Structure 1
Amino acid sequence: RPGGVGVGGGDALPAGTLVERPIRLASLVAGDDGSGDTSVSNLGHHAGYYRLPTTHDARLFYFFFESRRHKKEDPVVIWLTGGPGCSSELALFYENGPFHIADNMSLLWNDFGWDQESNLIYVDQPTGTGFSYSSDSRDTRHNEASVSNDLYDFLQAFFKEHPEYVENDFYITGESYAGHYIPAFATRVYKGNKNNEGIHINLKGFAIGNGLTDPAIQYKAYTDYALDMGLITQSEFSKINKIVPACEFAVKLCGTSGTVSCLAAYFVCNTIFSSIRLIIGSKNYYDIRKPCVGSLCYDFSNLEKFLNLKSVRQSLGVGDIEFVSCSPTVYQAMLLDWMRNLEVGIPELLENDIKVLIYAGEYDLICNWLGNSRWVDSMEWSGKKAFVSSTEKPFMVDGKEAGVLKSHGPLSFLKSHTHTLSLPLPHSFSPSPSLGRWDENKSETET
């Protein structure tokens, strides 16, 4: 077992048990000793471990931040980072959480944190991601069924611990590989409610940012997007496009339940992306306007430094468990799942008025807006015709057009003119032993 006891790390912790503790991250904010602002110092910030009941020894780590407005009726929002295998703390501290990390390891309040409007949960999942761990390799997850069952079990325990939030609207959010996690998890919650399993969860909707959901459509869009954005020439477009039929055939064989065929599809289809990546060189594939700096195209080293501080670890109760920003073990374990189509479960949710928002920044290559808009348009549901023919409208923020929005009924697609969040998350890393180094002889990519 990874060293350290942690909040829920003790060997005696029974399966199905959730152990949570209050944390005082607000007291680490630069210039704030925690006493000057009662409303800030009294915020409900929590960290915990949940020992999964249907595993050998798996524990999921999570953060829970109560709404900064102190409004109990604010929705409960869970955030899932992609990878697969990247920690949700990346989003917490670099995107939409309450804090950013300063270079001196103090915290700064994030003026755009989603906790301004909601009660926020960040989960390190699947097992082996972030601070989540197991002493037994049999707990490694390989597909969405087991991932979504784990999340559902966690959610049941969370609402049992926090019954005051059971009636609140509940939303599932995330980005990149969470384009797989989120539809599967939303379907699991919907079915749990339908079958009267445990606590009824007030699921109102979900949102996916720059996600990978329907690989067959999205991989075909790579060359079109790259050509449109001037990343490749017409001759390069024609050459790379010769791979597309083989990719489409491989994805068809994979379907929604294939195994070895899905692995083959992963390697065939990712040749498309790796070919484009070789051409664009040092361009950042999360924001093609910028250079790629470092192994993840952004510098996230402050996160690892901060989470390795003794005072922070004591506050979180994680002992000496190693923090894993992006786990190559989890990444490789999910390769069989990568090329499966997760769009298939969404129509039933739409028909039952579960709101769906698919959003994408227009400068992200790896999970680009074009591929996302195409799978959304092609989805078969009762509102398909009306959605496709609906007029795009400007999405305004502070009096300026920030994107283009298309909506019909419970479905919306938003193309953002800039980044969808304050910083794009590394949907990725290289699964090679030299973590983050690109091997030009391999077709592995990241999402």
Structure 2
Amino acid sequence: MRRPLMAILLVFLLCLFNIASAAERNLVDSLPGYEGALPFRLETGYVNVDEKNGAELFYYFIESEDDPRRDPLLLWLTGGDHCTVFSGLAFEIGPVKFIREPYNGSVPRLKYNPYSWTKAANIIFVDSPVGAGFSFSQDTKGYAVGDVSSSLQLKIFLYKWFEGHPDFLANPFYVGGDSYGGKIVPYLVQKITEDIEAQVRPALNLKGYLVGNPVTGESIDTDSRVPYAHGFGIISDQLYEATLEHCKGESYSNPTNMICDQLLKRVHELLGECSKPHILYKKCFYVSPGQNDESPRRIILKKEIGGLKRPPPRPPMDCQNYVNYLSYFWANSMATRDALGIKKGSKDEWVRCHDGDLPYSKDIKSSIKYHRNVTLKGYRALVYSGDHDSVIPFLGTQAWVRSLNFPIVDEWRAWHVYGQSAGFSIVYSNNLTFATVKGGGHTAPEYQPERCLAMFKRWISNKPL
């Protein structure tokens, strides 16, 4: 009699272990710096995506503020060098944002973002690749990832996440991301479609994907800066025409022609006079805590950083990215870590982005073929660009979208918010839409949140922009 009982107990414990290992989660009803209870449902947690090295991806899951059981579910990725997805949550499409005020040593304050995409969707924000944000690896070998391996880890993440959240399996599922995250998205989506075709369980209810200001890995991403700079009056006719003449057939990133090289240096010098993420915004200069400089501003800055090792340089408060600076102190607060359920000893110091200190292989040379493959299978796609972004200009994105050679279904036209043009769009066959966001930068929602929410709500609801 004892053996059957022991067997039942063992099975029960294994089930508990599998549920716990699928996704460790933590319900958050308040956040440091946010006054009162949160007006949305927030869950944070970890998913182990590399058992051998103990690599775990950290996530923020925010339920839709409308109808969580029916609204689409969106997995969101961000760009940069191991940049945290908290950038997407707090600066772009999530329901909180920082109050822009001088940092005084306390936890920076947050407020509600009325233009959050959680108005229309459930969103899983994932710190990927391993090492980004609060994601970590117990063995340092776990940090050695790249485009392909981190994408496959995201696939593992999804299956384990759905194991712990089976109620969301029926929701229409989308994958989204911007900047470098836009390079990963189509590859990840292709891998998911291959699993669907192979009848891997659980079957994800994949409907499509969206990418904003996306990197592809192709030279067009950056080569388009030359005609973009010319079109906006940043470089002269003479410099533009000379560049076209002498750089024909050359790599703009590594020219072998000396004349071309000199011309491109001049192009980049002139572009450098502007704020690259948004050419109309103020170009900001930073204050870093110098070792021997005891000016009043630097003394204040030294007090601000306390014992933290890698504080970011401080921009003027009227700069768009001053909130990036505030995020460093918010995320490194022990109150924040306790609220988010951060594992003790997993991350000594949170940084918004890394700077080449973690290994990473850019082994997807071009994502364009994955865009073609997935859209040819009938999955929906939205590619959008802020039209004032000179990092990944819309001209280059528009060109590679057009290179897919899909027939036009709806000609180039304006789309509107409150009766005014909010951007322009064109719709191709195979459910592919390209749109610009007027006044948007890198990234578009950071600079035009209201317009981007309108665009997203219409597209995710299968309505024309």
The TM-score normalised by the length of structure 2 is 0.75
C-alpha deviation, 1:127, in angstroms: 0.6
2:194 to 188, 191, 201: 191
Deviations 1:371-392, CA, capped at 9 Å, x for gaps: 0000000014xxx1335xx411
2:436 alignment counterpart = 415
Is residue 366 of structure 1 aligned with residue 391 of structure 2? yes
CA distance in 2, matches of 1:84, 1:313: 22
1:327 alignment counterpart = 354
2:336 to 284, 287, 312: 312
Higher mean displacement: 298-307 or 241-250: 241-250
1:279 alignment counterpart = 270
1:220 to 201, 204, 223: 223
C-alpha deviation, 1:276, in angstroms: 3.5
Unaligned runs of 5+ in 2: 1-16, 102-106, 287-312, 450-465
Structure 2 letter corresponding to 1:109: Y
Cα distance change of structure 1 residues 337 and 366 upon mapping to structure 2, 3 Å threshold: farther
Runs of 4+ in 1 over 6 A off after TM superposition: 12-15, 269-274
C-alpha deviation, 1:16, in angstroms: 5.8
Structure 2 letter corresponding to 1:411: L
1:128 to 128, 131, 141: 131
C-alpha deviation, 1:15, in angstroms: 11
Cα distance change of structure 1 residues 27 and 284 upon mapping to structure 2, 3 Å threshold: closer
Matches within 5 A, 1:201-216: 201-213=204-216, 215-216=218-219
CA distance in 2, matches of 1:270, 1:59: 44
1:117 to 102, 105, 120: 120
Deviations 1:387-409, CA, capped at 9 Å, x for gaps: 5xx41121111221101110133
**Higher Rg:** 2
CA distance in 2, matches of 1:273, 1:177: 24
Unaligned runs of 5+ in 1: 1-11, 35-39, 251-263, 426-447
C-alpha deviation, 1:143, in angstroms: 3.2
CA distance in 2, matches of 1:118, 1:315: 24
1:21 to 23, 26, 35: 26
C-alpha deviation, 1:271, in angstroms: 10
C-alpha deviation, 1:137, in angstroms: 3.1
Matches within 5 A, 1:342-381: 342-380=367-405
Higher mean displacement: 234-243 or 208-217: 234-243
Structure 2 letter corresponding to 1:246: E
C-alpha deviation, 1:26, in angstroms: 5.9
CA distance in 2, matches of 1:280, 1:274: 10
**Other structure's SS at 1:74 match:** coil
Deviations 1:293-333, CA, capped at 9 Å, x for gaps: 24697221111111122211101121352212111247762
Is residue 289 of structure 1 aligned with residue 314 of structure 2? no
1:245 alignment counterpart = 249
**Other structure's SS at 1:288 match:** coil
1:200 alignment counterpart = 203
Is residue 391 of structure 1 aligned with residue 390 of structure 2? no
Structure 2 letter corresponding to 1:354: Y
**Other structure's SS at 1:328 match:** coil
**Other structure's SS at 2:114 match:** coil
Matches within 5 A, 1:69-84: 69-84=66-81
Paired residues in the alignment total 383
Cα distance change of structure 1 residues 298 and 292 upon mapping to structure 2, 3 Å threshold: farther
Cα distance change of structure 1 residues 275 and 397 upon mapping to structure 2, 3 Å threshold: same
Instruction: Work out the percentage of aligned pairs sharing the same amino acid.
Output: 23
Deviations 1:148-171, CA, capped at 9 Å, x for gaps: 110000000111111000010011
CA distance in 1, matches of 2:109, 2:271: 36
Structure 2 letter corresponding to 1:284: S
2:169 to 166, 178, 192: 166
**Other structure's SS at 1:290 match:** coil
**Other structure's SS at 2:280 match:** strand
The TM-score normalised by the length of structure 1 is 0.78
CA distance in 2, matches of 1:131, 1:404: 37
CA distance in 1, matches of 2:261, 2:161: 38
Structure 2 letter corresponding to 1:324: V
Is residue 87 of structure 1 aligned with residue 78 of structure 2? no
Cα distance change of structure 1 residues 70 and 391 upon mapping to structure 2, 3 Å threshold: closer
CA distance in 2, matches of 1:272, 1:186: 40
Cα distance change of structure 1 residues 395 and 141 upon mapping to structure 2, 3 Å threshold: farther
Would the aligned equivalents of 2:61 and 2:124 in 1 still touch at CA under 8 Å? yes
**Other structure's SS at 1:413 match:** strand
Would the aligned equivalents of 1:173 and 1:182 in 2 still touch at CA under 8 Å? yes
**Other structure's SS at 2:389 match:** coil
CA distance in 2, matches of 1:134, 1:270: 42
Would the aligned equivalents of 1:244 and 1:272 in 2 still touch at CA under 8 Å? no
Deviations 1:250-281, CA, capped at 9 Å, x for gaps: 8xxxxxxxxxxxxx99xxx9999875432233
Would the aligned equivalents of 1:16 and 1:50 in 2 still touch at CA under 8 Å? yes
